[in-house]
Structure 1
Amino acid sequence: MSLTKYQEPPLFEQHGAAERRFLQLISALPKVSVQGYDKHRNVIYWNKSSEDMYGYSKDEALGQKLEDLIIPNFMRDEVVKFHQRWIEFDEAIPSNELVLKKKDGQPIHVFSSHVMLKQGSDSPEMYCVDIDLSEQHEIRLELERMASTDLLTDLPNRRVLEQTLISIIEDVTHSNSGFALFFIDLDMFKEINDTLGHTWGDELLKAVAKRLVSCIDSANGMLARFGGDEFVYVANNITDEIQCEEIAKKLTDCFKKSFELSTESVHITSSIGISIFPRDGDGIDDLLKHADAAMYQAKAEGRNRYHFFTKTLSQRLRQQRSIAARLRESLKKDEFELLFQPQIDVKTGKFTSCEALLRWRPLDEESAVPPNIFIPIAERSELIADIGRWVLEKTCQQSKKWKQKGIGVRIDINVSGKELEKSSFFERLTACRSHYGLSPEDIGLELTENVLIKSDNAILENLRAQRDLGVEISIDDFGTGYSSLSYLKQFPVSHLKIDRSFLKGAPENAYDSALMEAIVNVGHKLDLKIVVEGVETQSQSDYCKSLNVEFVQGFLYSRPISAEAIEALLEKQ
């Protein structure tokens, strides 16, 4: 058979004027492949875009069968069937997105539509109009990757982790098997990030992810980045703690060697919490929450270790949930009280400021717990913001009452990191002062050094703005957290409160005394006023005077007392 019958001019002449205009139009479209086929699916038309998209020249394509050129093997029979049904029964082939085949065997994504000319004659012709979707497909793949992948580490993200866990739980429930979840948190990452900078912190996270991937069995599990410096490894086909310990040791050993980051060599450890399905929970939330609780237990025991979720932890979580529920009810019923502990001016023996201390006073007194228990629970359950609002409001109310009585005593309130993270805290502080007619000097802020270290630039800038207004800002319990004196110059603070543990043996113990003197001297060099907490004996008070500290606070002078008792104490001065 001569190929001249397939050349365009004779072909065009075989059609009417409308069909010729259609063929001329589609022949000129860029990135739109148009192929024509006779009733036996032999190629009778092949435009320039078809050559570009599929790799066959017109001479190579003409006379060849559709299914032998661009149709993948698994689609051949279906394509033939669809074509025959169109010719025989007038059932048009629906338009659709397809993955076809190039000359070199590579797949190509197209949107394919079909037109039948000379329908009902002895020589019907089918024309395929294929639009190249390669770019759109790449964009779609990239969007899917962005939606499912942590862009920093290239690991699956939290969304994929949760979807995978749903699937795994369904599978193992039917097969009566199990799996384990390992919650991996980097130890002291925040401090390293702040020391080296966020760029190096990101490089460290990428290096950690890469090393963890090399340590795990990816064929029987999945590693995902949960967020921040947290990773989760899901290990399939795990039913007992012995198998988990082997994996946990491998994960821990991943951190034995330091991470080389260009010019920096960084050593970091991890704390790992482990929960097992179905023993420790039959849902995603429980498994993650329990592994997270076990991880925090590992940190509490000294970091650089792993810990299983246990019945003891389970009981503790139940107790915490119960306390959180009671706290929530007490907030509605206003079942809290503020006590005040004076801060004594060492030179004059008088006090001009005090610390507001929260106490829980529920109607059922037996259900109450001390602040060192309920405050951390409130922070974990997000109740701390509501409690903080209550404290700020009551403190401002009390300050106004005292000012109306001519009592000029500054009240310091403790502020948690969770409160500072809320952008509304500083607006609320300003609004509350204004509402009660207070000046910035009337309400001071106390923050732990760990809270300050974890604060971002926006929080620090807001604190600087408050400090510029005259707000006294104290670092509370100094020495119990990260304890880096170099951090002090970065924070907008006015007072340094030294934790009671440093004072306890200082008057008699040379080592403790040296530490106290060093902290006091550095604080004074940075123009900070020193407050020593936990003064309980006269010898401790005399020792503080010898160091020229400005203020002391402790049971020697007063326990936390009511507002009325503060007024009575002031009358005696």
Structure 2
Amino acid sequence: MSLTEYREPASFSEHDSAERRFLQLISALPKVSVQGYDKARNVIYWNKSSEDIYGYSEREALGRKLEDLIIPDFMKADVINLHQRWIEFGEAIPSEELVLKKKGGEPVHVFSSHVMLKEDTDSPEMYCVDIDLSEQHAVRQELERMASTDLLTELPNRRLLKQFLANAISEASTNNLSFALFFIDLDMFKEINDTLGHTWGDELLRAVAERLSDSIDSDGLLTRFGGDEFVYVATNISDESDCEDIAKKLSCCFKQSFQLSTENIHITSSIGISLYPKHGQEIDDLLKNADVAMYQAKAEGRNRYHFFTHALSQQLRQHRDIAANLRTSLSNNEFELLYQPQYDLKTGKVASCEALLRWRPQNESLAVPPNVFIPIAERSDLIVQIGNWVLENACQQARLWKEKGIEVRIDVNVSGKELEKTAYFERLADCRNQYHLLPKDIGLELTENILIKSDNAILENLRYQRDLGVEISLDDFGTGYSSLSYLKHFPVSHLKIDRSFLKGAPEKAFDSALMEAIVNVGHKLDLFIVVEGVETEQQSDYCKSLNVEFVQGYLYSKPISADAMEALLEKQG
């Protein structure tokens, strides 16, 4: 309303010039509602911005009570009481942000201040000055939504999950209720992401989120926890049978393939389940225990669900203890390398040796075999530190042997996490230079799973090492993806056939056919064949009949100490 449009309220006399100037000043402000109320809270003044903000015209508002116009029902008693206390006792109503209501009942956010005119008369008039905060509230809501929403899938994110869990725990503890947490991880998502690219990987995540959302109860909360992990919190769970029904529903989301452009993608999920309060009464415990159960589902073959158990909890504690003891042993240098020779079947001599790690803590009762501590180390950065130790000590041993005139290649096993660190190849080069070694002196052993998961940068680095003369062995072939077609893509020189293929090969036709196929394809790709686990003369003769180049196993030698290996090499001359 402009100053020329301003109309003096009927209750104002000529001597009220200061009050009149006050109204003229604030009435002209845009998005500032000014309303006047008499002693009984009847509207005596209603400016143009009040019409815009609250939806009532001046004609509709004049004469009506404040509490019947813009005050929500639950606030009415308080507003009336505050107004009466101001009139009777002079207690001014404080300014604050309020949520009032429009003509149609919609909420409206305002900052409301109050002024009492003619306070010392029998006709006091209260004027409310309300600033429209609708735009600020909308911006604030959007910021809050963005802060609590995963922008890729539009699902709630981890931040909102923790808020929801805090409320769920409070309500469940008060009312003696239970709820369940489902930790959902997509199986083999990284391989799909690497094959199709991140764009289609993102599309797959969106499609998975949509299917999961369609399958769940609206009372619960589905969130994207991060990466290819989702968490669903189901409230009002009675027992584990309810959880099984939900887990089956969630698993059913993956029965049908996902259509991405021209590709039909089949993917499964592994689900871990924890229940409140049975499996934890704190947010972190429930999440951690469901995560542990999910990894157990993966360990059992993927595409299934698993409840958290106290046995898993005990196993988790044991793994933590082992990890802590491994860290201590790294500081104390409590490891040893043993060496298992690989024999050339044509010459009968040692062609190379594989460095095998053993844990020798001062307290021998803490020691566990490599098949136990290596997987634990691989779940953290420990495997990188242990890999550094192995590489350093293998290079040091190779140098010692070279100084004694003993020339033998030492092959070291490399984990996927080591390769993911781009500094690995720099460290390898630095270690060779430090000990004055040639590329042919230290070989690398990698599993097919690691190579399949490797990105182009890793494969290019491996090709560069191969061009330098580094021998690269594909270890335990046949125990992972078992696809011969992968071999042509990998920069490897040696193919190591897992012992499980040899075990029945001489006697069983099926096993023999597999062995022969692997050896023949390997030779056609110009790869040297190494057969592991040779334990009998019959197996050795069988390998010779297939023209296998190298063998490794207890028939020839167990893993032995560096001194014993040195003596063996000196003996053969």
TM-score range, shorter chain: 0.7 to 0.9
Could you say if the C-alpha distance between residues 34 and 317 of structure 1 is closer, same or farther in structure 2, counting changes exceeding 3 Å? Answer: closer
CA distance in 1, matches of 2:71, 2:107: 10
Could you say if the C-alpha distance between residues 135 and 321 of structure 1 is closer, same or farther in structure 2, counting changes exceeding 3 Å? Answer: same
CA distance in 2, matches of 1:192, 1:259: 12
Alignment partner, residue 99 of structure 1: 99
Post-superposition offset of 1:395: 2.2
Alignment partner, residue 567 of structure 1: 566
Alignment partner, residue 6 of structure 2: 8
Q: Deviations over 1:42-69 (max 9, x none)?
A: 253524x544444445565566554444
RMSD, matched Cα: 4.0
Q: Deviations over 1:206-230 (max 9, x none)?
A: 33333334444343x4433333333
Alignment partner, residue 341 of structure 1: 340
Could you say if the C-alpha distance between residues 300 and 122 of structure 1 is closer, same or farther in structure 2, counting changes exceeding 3 Å? Answer: same
Q: Deviations over 1:482-517 (max 9, x none)?
A: 233444455454443322222333344443343334
The amino acid that maps onto 1:46 is N
Structure 2 counterpart SS, 1:536: coil
1:58-77 matches, cutoff 5 A: 61=61, 65-77=65-77
The amino acid that maps onto 1:354 is C
Alignment partner, residue 442 of structure 2: 443
CA distance in 2, matches of 1:555, 1:335: 26
CA distance in 2, matches of 1:327, 1:443: 25
Could you say if the C-alpha distance between residues 512 and 33 of structure 1 is closer, same or farther in structure 2, counting changes exceeding 3 Å? Answer: same
The amino acid that maps onto 1:370 is P
Could you say if the C-alpha distance between residues 240 and 65 of structure 1 is closer, same or farther in structure 2, counting changes exceeding 3 Å? Answer: closer
Post-superposition offset of 1:180: 3.5
1:454-533 matches, cutoff 5 A: 454-456=453-455, 459-460=458-459, 463=462, 466-467=465-466, 471-524=470-523, 528-533=527-532
1:384-395 matches, cutoff 5 A: 384-395=383-394
CA distance in 2, matches of 1:66, 1:82: 13
Is 1:187 the equivalent of 2:187? yes
CA distance in 1, matches of 2:312, 2:354: 34
Which deviates further from its counterpart, 102-111 or 485-494? 485-494
The amino acid that maps onto 1:308 is F
The amino acid that maps onto 1:211 is R
1:125-524 matches, cutoff 5 A: 128-219=128-219, 221-238=220-237, 240-261=239-260, 263-310=262-309, 312-345=311-344, 349-380=348-379, 382-422=381-421, 425-456=424-455, 459-460=458-459, 463=462, 466-467=465-466, 471-524=470-523
The amino acid that maps onto 2:388 is R
Segments of 5+ residues of structure 2 without an aligned counterpart are: none
The amino acid that maps onto 2:369 is P
Which deviates further from its counterpart, 309-318 or 412-421? 309-318
Could you say if the C-alpha distance between residues 129 and 311 of structure 1 is closer, same or farther in structure 2, counting changes exceeding 3 Å? Answer: closer
| Residues 8 and 20 in structure 2, CA contact (< 8 A), matched pair in contact too | no
Could you say if the C-alpha distance between residues 550 and 251 of structure 1 is closer, same or farther in structure 2, counting changes exceeding 3 Å? Answer: same
Which deviates further from its counterpart, 332-341 or 291-300? 291-300
| Residues 6 and 62 in structure 1, CA contact (< 8 A), matched pair in contact too | no
Could you say if the C-alpha distance between residues 80 and 15 of structure 1 is closer, same or farther in structure 2, counting changes exceeding 3 Å? Answer: farther
Q: Deviations over 1:247-276 (max 9, x none)?
A: 444444444444445644444333333334
The amino acid that maps onto 1:97 is E
| Residues 38 and 123 in structure 1, CA contact (< 8 A), matched pair in contact too | no
Q: What TM-score, normalized by structure 2, do the two folds share? A: 0.83
| Residues 179 and 233 in structure 2, CA contact (< 8 A), matched pair in contact too | yes
CA distance in 2, matches of 1:14, 1:391: 97
CA distance in 2, matches of 1:29, 1:346: 96
The amino acid that maps onto 2:329 is S
CA distance in 1, matches of 2:428, 2:58: 77
Q: What TM-score, normalized by structure 1, do the two folds share? A: 0.83
Structure 2 counterpart SS, 1:204: helix
Could you say if the C-alpha distance between residues 105 and 278 of structure 1 is closer, same or farther in structure 2, counting changes exceeding 3 Å? Answer: closer
| Residues 384 and 419 in structure 1, CA contact (< 8 A), matched pair in contact too | yes
Structure 2 counterpart SS, 1:557: coil
CA distance in 1, matches of 2:52, 2:194: 54
| Residues 112 and 129 in structure 1, CA contact (< 8 A), matched pair in contact too | yes
Which deviates further from its counterpart, 386-395 or 64-73? 64-73
Q: Deviations over 1:191-210 (max 9, x none)?
A: 44444443443333333333
CA distance in 1, matches of 2:352, 2:366: 32
The amino acid that maps onto 1:8 is Y
Could you say if the C-alpha distance between residues 240 and 74 of structure 1 is closer, same or farther in structure 2, counting changes exceeding 3 Å? Answer: closer
| Residues 495 and 530 in structure 1, CA contact (< 8 A), matched pair in contact too | yes
Segments of 5+ residues of structure 1 without an aligned counterpart are: none
CA distance in 2, matches of 1:129, 1:46: 10
CA distance in 2, matches of 1:38, 1:281: 57
CA distance in 2, matches of 1:468, 1:74: 79
The amino acid that maps onto 1:305 is R
CA distance in 1, matches of 2:59, 2:4: 10
Alignment partner, residue 108 of structure 1: 108
| Residues 35 and 129 in structure 2, CA contact (< 8 A), matched pair in contact too | no
Post-superposition offset of 1:336: 1.1
The amino acid that maps onto 1:212 is L
CA distance in 2, matches of 1:524, 1:136: 71
CA distance in 2, matches of 1:165, 1:33: 40
Post-superposition offset of 1:19: 7.5
| Residues 101 and 107 in structure 2, CA contact (< 8 A), matched pair in contact too | yes
Could you say if the C-alpha distance between residues 45 and 328 of structure 1 is closer, same or farther in structure 2, counting changes exceeding 3 Å? Answer: same
CA distance in 1, matches of 2:204, 2:151: 14
| Residues 35 and 43 in structure 1, CA contact (< 8 A), matched pair in contact too | no
Could you say if the C-alpha distance between residues 364 and 347 of structure 1 is closer, same or farther in structure 2, counting changes exceeding 3 Å? Answer: same
Post-superposition offset of 1:471: 4.4
Post-superposition offset of 1:122: 7.1
The amino acid that maps onto 2:379 is R
| Residues 44 and 63 in structure 1, CA contact (< 8 A), matched pair in contact too | no
CA distance in 1, matches of 2:532, 2:440: 22
CA distance in 1, matches of 2:306, 2:473: 36
Which deviates further from its counterpart, 72-81 or 53-62? 53-62
Structure 2 counterpart SS, 1:231: strand
| Residues 111 and 133 in structure 1, CA contact (< 8 A), matched pair in contact too | yes
Is 1:46 the equivalent of 2:65? no
Structure 1 counterpart SS, 2:451: helix
Post-superposition offset of 1:557: 3.5
Could you say if the C-alpha distance between residues 114 and 291 of structure 1 is closer, same or farther in structure 2, counting changes exceeding 3 Å? Answer: same
Could you say if the C-alpha distance between residues 107 and 508 of structure 1 is closer, same or farther in structure 2, counting changes exceeding 3 Å? Answer: same
| Residues 239 and 276 in structure 1, CA contact (< 8 A), matched pair in contact too | no
| Residues 33 and 53 in structure 2, CA contact (< 8 A), matched pair in contact too | no
Could you say if the C-alpha distance between residues 166 and 491 of structure 1 is closer, same or farther in structure 2, counting changes exceeding 3 Å? Answer: farther
Q: Deviations over 1:396-450 (max 9, x none)?
A: 3223323433444333222223334456545544544444444554433322222
Could you say if the C-alpha distance between residues 28 and 349 of structure 1 is closer, same or farther in structure 2, counting changes exceeding 3 Å? Answer: farther
CA distance in 2, matches of 1:524, 1:24: 97
Could you say if the C-alpha distance between residues 26 and 432 of structure 1 is closer, same or farther in structure 2, counting changes exceeding 3 Å? Answer: farther
| Residues 320 and 377 in structure 1, CA contact (< 8 A), matched pair in contact too | yes
| Residues 46 and 61 in structure 1, CA contact (< 8 A), matched pair in contact too | no
Q: How many residues align?
A: 568
Could you say if the C-alpha distance between residues 507 and 46 of structure 1 is closer, same or farther in structure 2, counting changes exceeding 3 Å? Answer: same
Post-superposition offset of 1:335: 1.8
| Residues 270 and 304 in structure 2, CA contact (< 8 A), matched pair in contact too | yes
| Residues 157 and 225 in structure 2, CA contact (< 8 A), matched pair in contact too | yes
